[in-house]
Structure 1
Amino acid sequence: MSPTEPMSVERLGRTAKRAIYERAFAYFVADKWWIATLVLLIGVSVAVGLLETWPLAVLVDSVLTKEPKAGWLHAYFLALLPTDKPGQIVGLVLIGLALQVIGYSAWLARSMINYHLNYWGTTRVRADLFAKLQRLDLAWHHARPQGDAIYRLTTDAFGPWGIVDIVIGTSVAAVTLTVMTMILVSHNPPLTFAAYSVAPLIVWSNWRFGMRIHKRALESKQIDADLTSHIQQAMVRVPLAQAFRRESFEFGRFEQAVARSVTALLRLNWQEQLYPFARDLILSVGGAIILGYGGWLVYRDQFLAPAPGGMTVGALIIFMDYLRKLWDPLKWLAEFFSKVRTFEAAARRVFFVLDEPEQIRDKPGARPLPPKPRHLAFDDVSFSYRPGRMVVSELRATIAPGEMVAFVGPSGAGKSSLLKLMLRFHDPVQGALRLDGLDYRDIRLADLRAHFAYVTQDTLVLPTTVAENIAYGRPAAGMAEIEDAAALAGASTFIAELPQAYGTTLSEGGANLSGGQRQRLAIARALLSEAPFLVLDEPTSALDPSNETLLIETLHRLKRRRTIVLVTHRLASVVDCDRIHVVEAGRIAESGTHSELLARTGAYARLWRQGETETAPGRRRAALPHGRRRLTQKSVAER
């Protein structure tokens, strides 16, 4: 099992208590009429399977013989035929052909209905699973590799249908086996008993291998999920591997991951193949016994001591055909546990996620709150990812509508955690965040997040057109609105230079754009959303000096149009903020304007002097919009 998800016995038991089979079938309730049709077609197939050999038996025992054998089914067939022998032969041929055509047609219809049920039922499973993954908090996702979620969506989602398919197939097998047994007993009870003499051995082999297959299936699924995660992560690391010449190291790790997957699969395949080998060996021995015993009965009743109602060649044909068909339902029944356990393991992994409690969700009675400019307050907020280790402690701060506010401080001070609290990716363990005095937890989550447009440090660019990237938060926006947002974000100039301008398709991750271009595209996306708060996490950390200058100018153009919240350790971008909060060890060490904080010669002044020291000679400084004068941190302080 993965260390990120210990599949404990207790957790597995809890899933079992929630009726895993009932939950699997619940996904197919919408297709109840298709299932009813499938059951009807199964009945047709069973009936055809029971009847299709009878024309040959009637031909042998009642037409091509001088002494026709009696029997109600023989009489029924003969009643449908002409009285002359040639007519009876042709009639039996046509009946046999008709049964074959009906049987194949029913099989075709059953196959297509099975596909329909499989695809649409699995679609519903995937929809539920995907929606659940979207709702689970970031802490849950960060604790697990992305490949694991992908594997559950792509592969494990077939688990519920596998359970339904196996249960339906086994039910059909049970009905078929019951009817066949009744017919066989009516012909010859001793021979029927001989047919079932191998059943205990089949049951034993099923029990013997079933548990092993279940264990290997769980192991293999987890290792496959880990392999998917490894491949996904390895693709992300390609630039790093090339830069540090670690391709051979990454290839070695890939080989090891694949080898673990192959080893687990081979262990599973060995058990999966060893079981049918043992089973078929048992059935072969049983078939040989029945063939010899049945042949002896025909010889005795027809040649040694002819007796009315004795075993006939036609009856032996029926018996041998039924015996051949008997093994199929018997195998379905015997293999039920070994087959269903694989799908059960997949379904458990799906339901494991669906049963995860949602830490961030609407509480009963949460009130709507339409987006508009509002006061935001941190009211004695404390937060920790792990008990006993606070990353934010007793933090108090207020942000008024239209203000430009910054949270600055060294890496690890707790700034990014503040942003996650602000967007309610997490809830504080103490205190509260408030919009216009309302506790976040009393507001509908969708309405709360509609107040914020978030520009992440690692800008996400979709592999679609520029216009669609900008309109991601508001897909119904018109082209004029998209262009206005791009112009306000300072992105319109570089977009106009692209081959198809706003219709240009961007590559995965925006690799055909510079860091500054991606950043301005993300700001345009945030602006188009019309959220009253524009929240930026380290917006200049990945930018060169010229792009940093352009971004700062963009932010100053937006001042008073939106409430802007900056989280950064680059102080050149916060000089003209209305209020700067200096965060140290999860607490606000001091607050004020740029000039006020410098005058106090405290934590902010120390960070500013440190920034001066670390700035390389000749580096272009960020431009502030006051007279377009290029300023160093020293010149700003002197002002």
Structure 2
Amino acid sequence: MNSTDERLRAGAKRTVYERAFSYFSPDRPWIATLVVLIGVSVGVGLLEAWPLAVLVDSVLTTEPKGGWLHGYFLAVLPKDKPGQILGLVLIGLVLQIIGYSAWMARMMINYYLNYWGTTRVRADLFGKLQRLDLAYHQSRPLGDSIYRLTTDAFGPWGVVDIMIGTSVAAVTLVVMTAILLSRSAPLTFAAYAVAPLILWSNWRFGMRIHQRALESKQIDADLTAHIQQAMSRVPLSQAFRREPFEFRRFEEAVARSVKALLQLNWQEQLYPLARDIILSLGGAIILGYGGWLVYRDQFLSPAPGGMTVGALIIFMDYLRKLWDPLKWLAEFFSKIRTFEAATRRVFFILDEPETIKDKPDAQALPPRPRLLSLDHISFAYQPERPVLSNVSATIAPGEMVAFVGPSGVGKSSLLKLMLRFHDPSRGALRLDGIDVRRARLVDLRAHFAFVTQDNLVLPTSVAENIAYGRPSASREDIEDAAALAGAAEFIDALPDGYDTALNEGGANLSGGQRQRLAIARALLSDAPFLVLDEPTSALDPENEQRLIETLHRLKRRRTILLVTHRLNSVIDCDRVFMMDAGRIIERGTHVQLLARGGAYARLWRRQTQETAASPSKAGTTAGRKGLGARAATEPEGVSLKIYRTS
């Protein structure tokens, strides 16, 4: 079991906070360093005003005043006044440099912990999402998974950061209060008189800014979605002359975004205004009351240990620094709840049970030609709506078989069971008699090269797209696979040929070109089973015929499973399985099924009549007669060496 599995398994037994901190356990030395630097920063922050206080109270006076801390400063200074002044200047400068350096180091460690801890969260989350079965992904919007990966993944670091920051704020307040009380209890209480106002403003404006920010983000997300949808509708709006309508909708969406941003900006500017007014009020209280205390203790009735100008400077400086720790404490619950919610969303996925996974005793199943058996398989996405019912079939290595029938009869679902995207409700799918649920998942899927109806194209080069399932393939093998799939001609016409970079989703290719590229990708793989789901649906007649000829040349070299509703493609299959309502209702060769005059024959007659009514397809249909006789030959210059069998 790897470290990720151990962390995930142990995580279910711990609280959300313990699990959040566990992602940063490999960085304990950095966390310890961060704690030390925080202590340095707090200490420096508390000492920054003292050189000036010592200068005023103990150096620039004929009667030195001050407490024990003044004595520590004076102990390291020369005895003469100029030397003491210079020494205090240097101490103040060194404190400033240490403070700034510690702050920079803290920020860099924060970034380090944030990035690498979040990377671990994302790695676990991405790996989990890859392992979850198709039923999970099909039941949730794609955007939800993307949001959890990109945004919610910062939740654990947010929890850690808030906990550390709040602890530092609490310690800072305690130490600061102790120092102030040691100088003057009445003035300390006067300084904290504005604390309720600080807490109120933090709470009030924090809540409003948080709400406005959420509204603004949602409106911005809506604007992005609106723009995306509007741009995709450009051909439609031009065709129906709806450009003015679309422009008005765009203006309204932008206006909503601007309004939300202005409301957010208004709250963001009111917040520092309120803060500065409260601090000014506090400063006025300290300056007025503290000034009177200095006047009383130093002039009206001098008293040892009374209020001094230096002590008043300390109070004024600490009042300025009072805001941040109180802000941390005031916002603790709202912030921790926000990050806790994001963290729980991450852990919700990590704790999601994996229905399709290896059993503890899963056995190795090296890829090679095998006997495929469908043993009384039944399957349903929802229990009350069965998709497949008691499907049985046996497919020998090297056979080419087809599952045909109208849409919605369970053909594609049957293919998904073969790759264990789902498990059957009843029955079993076996390779050489071994239930595929007993085999390692990676070995099972290595047996199948799957061409779906989606024709997924990656935003990379043509060659890399074709070699996705076999990255070690040579350029010659890639070109051979493209030729066999009927893709070589259009690839050669691209600006950089096989090195042409494709757009996201293959937007710079036609539907037929994307399909041929996907077929080439499957042909290049070493998988002994070639599984094609409606492979000719986006091909023109010429390339459809070329693909079918290619499939027939591969007979006895690969086991070919073809799902289609176009019966022209299955004429020379070894067997055809006619499906209806999730069952196999007829099976046999094309000739045998026509002779029976059943559902297959009726579907054939209907498609033949439709083809006869379309002159552009009639020649192709006629050209396919006797296809098996031509399948023994290869197109000139195309090699079959990329197809390997044991």
Q: TM-score, normalised by structure 2?
A: 0.87
For 1:266 and 1:139, locate their aligned partners in 2 and report how far apart those are by CA, in whole Å: 43
Cα deviation, residue 586, structure 1: 1.0
Partner of 2:426: 430
Bigger CA drift: 96-105 or 345-354? 345-354
Are 1:375 and 2:371 an aligned pair? yes
Deviation by residue 1:150-180 (Cα, 9 ceiling, x = unmatched) = 2222222222222222222212111211111
The 1:233/1:427 distance shift into structure 2, 3 A limit, reads farther
Deviation by residue 1:305-341 (Cα, 9 ceiling, x = unmatched) = 1111100001110121122112221221112222333
The 1:368/1:404 distance shift into structure 2, 3 A limit, reads same
For 1:410 and 1:293, locate their aligned partners in 2 and report how far apart those are by CA, in whole Å: 90
Equivalences for residues 496-535 of structure 1 within 5 A:
496-535=492-531
Partner of 1:192: 188
Cα deviation, residue 47, structure 1: 1.4
Preserved CA contact (<8 Å) 1:213 1:338: no
For 2:52 and 2:510, locate their aligned partners in 1 and report how far apart those are by CA, in whole Å: 79
Preserved CA contact (<8 Å) 1:488 1:557: no
Preserved CA contact (<8 Å) 1:377 1:399: yes
For 1:70 and 1:127, locate their aligned partners in 2 and report how far apart those are by CA, in whole Å: 57
The 1:205/1:95 distance shift into structure 2, 3 A limit, reads closer
- Any idea what SS the aligned residue of 1:619 has? helix
Instruction: Give the aligned residue type for 1:289.
Output: I
Cα deviation, residue 604, structure 1: 0.3
Counterpart among 575, 582, 585 of residue 581 in structure 2: 585
Cα deviation, residue 117, structure 1: 1.7
Partner of 2:42: 46
Cα deviation, residue 227, structure 1: 6.8
- Any idea what SS the aligned residue of 2:468 has? helix
Bigger CA drift: 80-89 or 142-151? 142-151
Equivalences for residues 579-618 of structure 1 within 5 A:
579-615=575-611, 616-618=613-615
Preserved CA contact (<8 Å) 2:377 2:390: yes
| 5+ residue gaps, structure 1 | 1-14, 630-639
Counterpart among 15, 18, 21 of residue 22 in structure 1: 18
Equivalences for residues 173-192 of structure 1 within 5 A:
173-192=169-188
Cα deviation, residue 406, structure 1: 0.6
- Any idea what SS the aligned residue of 1:110 has? helix
For 2:258 and 2:349, locate their aligned partners in 1 and report how far apart those are by CA, in whole Å: 26
The 1:221/1:430 distance shift into structure 2, 3 A limit, reads farther
Bigger CA drift: 315-324 or 123-132? 123-132
Cα deviation, residue 301, structure 1: 0.8
Are 1:385 and 2:366 an aligned pair? no
Partner of 2:132: 136
Deviation by residue 1:240-289 (Cα, 9 ceiling, x = unmatched) = 66667676777777778778877887888788777777666655544433
Cα deviation, residue 516, structure 1: 3.9
Preserved CA contact (<8 Å) 1:463 1:510: yes
Partner of 1:313: 309
Preserved CA contact (<8 Å) 1:462 1:510: yes
Cα deviation, residue 557, structure 1: 1.4
The 1:162/1:214 distance shift into structure 2, 3 A limit, reads same
The 1:74/1:33 distance shift into structure 2, 3 A limit, reads same
Are 1:536 and 2:532 an aligned pair? yes
Instruction: Give the aligned residue type for 2:564.
Output: T
Bigger CA drift: 460-469 or 251-260? 251-260
Bigger CA drift: 137-146 or 277-286? 277-286
For 1:311 and 1:515, locate their aligned partners in 2 and report how far apart those are by CA, in whole Å: 84
Preserved CA contact (<8 Å) 1:147 1:232: no
- Any idea what SS the aligned residue of 1:473 has? coil
Cα deviation, residue 101, structure 1: 1.1
Partner of 1:355: 351
Preserved CA contact (<8 Å) 2:37 2:106: yes
Instruction: Give the aligned residue type for 2:33.
Output: T
Bigger CA drift: 249-258 or 170-179? 249-258
Partner of 1:619: 616
Deviation by residue 1:32-79 (Cα, 9 ceiling, x = unmatched) = 222222111111111111111111111101111111114222122112
- Any idea what SS the aligned residue of 2:577 has? strand
- Any idea what SS the aligned residue of 1:398 has? strand
Partner of 1:7: none
For 2:233 and 2:430, locate their aligned partners in 1 and report how far apart those are by CA, in whole Å: 40
For 2:578 and 2:193, locate their aligned partners in 1 and report how far apart those are by CA, in whole Å: 83
Cα deviation, residue 20, structure 1: 2.2
- Any idea what SS the aligned residue of 2:193 has? helix
Are 1:86 and 2:82 an aligned pair? yes
For 1:245 and 1:373, locate their aligned partners in 2 and report how far apart those are by CA, in whole Å: 57
Partner of 2:142: 146
Equivalences for residues 448-527 of structure 1 within 5 A:
448-527=444-523
The 1:244/1:347 distance shift into structure 2, 3 A limit, reads farther
CA RMSD of aligned residues (A): 3.1
The 1:626/1:395 distance shift into structure 2, 3 A limit, reads closer
For 2:130 and 2:506, locate their aligned partners in 1 and report how far apart those are by CA, in whole Å: 23
For 2:152 and 2:49, locate their aligned partners in 1 and report how far apart those are by CA, in whole Å: 41
Preserved CA contact (<8 Å) 1:206 1:337: no
Partner of 2:52: 56
Partner of 1:103: 99
- Any idea what SS the aligned residue of 1:419 has? helix
Are 1:568 and 2:552 an aligned pair? no
For 2:49 and 2:549, locate their aligned partners in 1 and report how far apart those are by CA, in whole Å: 87
For 2:20 and 2:87, locate their aligned partners in 1 and report how far apart those are by CA, in whole Å: 47
Instruction: Give the aligned residue type for 2:111.
Output: Y
For 1:149 and 1:228, locate their aligned partners in 2 and report how far apart those are by CA, in whole Å: 18
Bigger CA drift: 249-258 or 513-522? 249-258
For 1:469 and 1:457, locate their aligned partners in 2 and report how far apart those are by CA, in whole Å: 16
Preserved CA contact (<8 Å) 1:217 1:342: no
Are 1:439 and 2:446 an aligned pair? no
Preserved CA contact (<8 Å) 1:234 1:250: yes
Cα deviation, residue 354, structure 1: 2.2
Counterpart among 389, 395, 398 of residue 391 in structure 2: 395
| 5+ residue gaps, structure 2 | 1-10, 632-646
Bigger CA drift: 52-61 or 611-620? 611-620
Cα deviation, residue 499, structure 1: 4.0
For 2:249 and 2:379, locate their aligned partners in 1 and report how far apart those are by CA, in whole Å: 37
Bigger CA drift: 261-270 or 132-141? 261-270
For 1:354 and 1:255, locate their aligned partners in 2 and report how far apart those are by CA, in whole Å: 41
Q: For this pair of structures, how many residues does the alignment match?
A: 615
Cα deviation, residue 199, structure 1: 3.8
Fraction of identical pairs, as percent: 79
Instruction: Give the aligned residue type for 1:561.
Output: R
